[in-house]
Amino acid sequence: MTTLAKPARTARPQTGAPSPRGSYRRLGDLKIALFFIAPAMIGFIFFYVVPTIRGVYLSFTEYSILGDPEWVGMDNYTAIAKDPLFWNSLAVTGQYVFLNIVLQTALALGLALLMHQVAKSTLVRGALLLPYLMSNVIAALLWFWMLDYQIGVVNQFIEWAGLPRVAFFGSEEWAIPTQAVINTWRHMGYTALLIFAGLQAIPGHLYEVAKLDGASAFQTFRKITVPLLRPVLVLVLVVTVIGSFQVFDTVAVTTQGGPVNATRVIQYYIYQRAFTESDFGYGSAIAVILFLILALVAFIQMKFLKGNESDLD
């Protein structure tokens, strides 16, 4: 997923007048700081900064990987603007993100409250995290077989219940909701854990005061829990929305964009254009657009939900 960089604080001790040793000390700190930062920095530069810059460059070229990139200016971007499959991928991804995030956040919040107030056993809390410990591909394949139209166990139960079988992955109406629910199942335990950590940070005396004042459970939740949980919820939303936009593995191992174009999500479309159709310039251009969309979404969330301020201070 994404790492949110926190602003680094300078650990330099506050001294009054600059002493003769000051500059020496700063330099000494710099060396040690660089030493400690280096492993992460090298990884960041080689695996994030360089590829990102190269990706942006490639988005202005026509490049089939086997030849040399050829500069075409804005051609890829103007072609994308007119590409119905690109707009389709945005709509499909939007549908997926909406279903996935609404379900996942609501369920995770409920689970977190249960963990906080009811299920205090470590075993139960640990069990909630189990689906998250499974790889995405395994989870997707597992459900792919269980939900199979012909030989899936779920459809067998549906038939016994006297209902018609459902083509969970094969029908255009069901394919995206099915995958959104599978990934909700996989991620909600982990999301619940993050929210749970936020709940634990709320001082217990606030609840006691509320109780003394005769507040109902719902009032306590609305007036104390939600406002004080807001920074954590915003962080969780930013991280999960970005992750949700990048859905790929579930689609790649099950429907591969189909039926028709019902699951051709944006990441899969990028992969298809770049790696299957050897159109790396076009693929890079869509990737750049996705990058901008995600930056904008994260910015809006942080700005309007005031994610970087806490009401606890």
Partner 1 sequence: MKKSLGAVAVAAAIALSLSACGGGGSSAESAKGEINYWLWDANQLPAYQQCATDFQKANPDISVKITQRGWDDYWSTLTNGFVGGTAPDVFTNHLGRYGELAENKQLLALDDAVKKDNVDVSKYNEGLADLWVGQDGKRYGLPKDWDTIGLFYNKGMLASAGVTEDQMKNLTWNPEDGGTYEDVIAHLTVDKAGKRGDEAGFDKNNVAVYGLGLNGGGDSSGQTEWSYLTNTTGWSHTDKNPWGTHYNYDDPKFQNSMAWFAGLADKGYMPKLETTVGASMADTFAAGKSAINAHGSWMTGQYMGYKGLEVGIAPTPVGPEGKRASMFNGLADSIWAGTKKKDASIKWVEYLASADCQDVVASKAVVFPALKASSEKAAEAFKAKGVDVTAFTEHVKNKTTFLYPITDNTAKVKGIMEPAMDAVVSGKAPASSLTQINEQVNALFK
Answer for which of 291, 293, 301, 302 binds partner 1 (CB under 8 A) is 291
Answer for which of 259, 297, 301, 305 binds partner 1 (CB under 8 A) is 259
Closest to 313 measured CA to CA, from 231, 210, 220: 231
Site string for partner 1, 217-256 (x = CB under 8 A): -----------------------------x-x-----xx-
| Burial grade of 216 (CB within 10 A; 0-12, 13-18, 19 or more) | exposed
Gap between the Cα atoms of 263 and 144, Å rounded: 14
Long-range CB contacts for residues 21-27, cutoff 8 Å, separation at least 24? none
**Measured on CA atoms in the order 293, 295, 298, 302, is the torsion positive or negative?**
negative
Residue 298 vs residues 4, 53, 109, 187: alpha-carbon distances, Å: 11, 20, 20, 19
Say how far residue 296 (Cα) sits from the centre of its chain: 14
Nearer to partner 1, 49 or 74 (CB): 49
Q: Minimum distance from CB of 172 to partner 1 (Å)?
A: 7
Nearer to partner 1, 40 or 65 (CB): 65
Nearer to partner 1, 76 or 225 (CB): 76
Q: Binding residues for partner 1, how many (CB under 8 A)?
A: 53
Nearer to partner 1, 64 or 301 (CB): 64
Nearer to partner 1, 109 or 274 (CB): 274
Q: Minimum distance from CB of 169 to partner 1 (Å)?
A: 5
Tell me: does residue 95 bind partner 1 (CB under 8 A).
Answer: no
Site string for partner 1, 120-159 (x = CB under 8 A): ------------------------xx--xxxxx-------
Tell me: does residue 261 bind partner 1 (CB under 8 A).
Answer: yes
Q: Minimum distance from CB of 167 to partner 1 (Å)?
A: 4
Answer for which of 52, 117, 219, 310 binds partner 1 (CB under 8 A) is 52
Nearer to partner 1, 229 or 289 (CB): 289
Stretch that binds partner 1, among 106-114, 115-123, 182-190, 268-276 (CB under 8 A): 268-276
Say how far residue 281 (Cα) sits from the centre of its chain: 25
Tell me: does residue 178 bind partner 1 (CB under 8 A).
Answer: no
Tell me: does residue 48 bind partner 1 (CB under 8 A).
Answer: yes
Long-range CB contacts for residues 245-252, cutoff 8 Å, separation at least 24? 245/93, 245/97, 245/290, 245/293, 245/294, 245/297, 247/93, 247/96, 247/100, 247/179, 247/183, 249/136, 249/137, 249/140, 250/136, 250/139, 250/140, 250/179, 250/182, 250/183, 251/179
Q: Which residues contact partner 1 by CB under 8 A?
A: 1, 46-48, 50-52, 54-55, 58, 64-67, 144-145, 148-152, 165, 167, 169-172, 246, 248, 254-255, 257-261, 264, 267, 270-280, 284, 287, 290-291
